[in-house]
Amino acid sequence: SIAMRRIMQTLRAQFDRLVIDAPPAIPVADVALLTPLVDGLVLVVRAGSTAKSAIHDAISGINSDKLLG
């Protein structure tokens, strides 16, 4: 939304780094909506718990150029 873009601009002017904790990438679409507003993404998974297929689905649903790790 326009309001979210304004908030991000205001925060970028005040801080060197912003960390946004978003809901899970699958099945929620919030990550796809936030991707244009951020410089990079870190995908967090739980070893031994998160299915590889879910990891692949999450990665395929985001801009891999912004994926930092």
pLDDT in tens, 16-47: 888 887 767 666 566 777 777 788 888 888 88
d(C-alpha 21, C-alpha 28), whole Å:
13
DSSP lists the bridge partners of residue 67 as: 41
Q: Which two tokens stand for residue 49?
A: 């718990």
Q: pTM for this one?
A: 0.64
48-68 pLDDT, tens digit per residue, is 888 888 888 888 877 778 888
User: Residue 57: which of 35, 33, 28, 37 has the closest Cα?
Assistant: 28
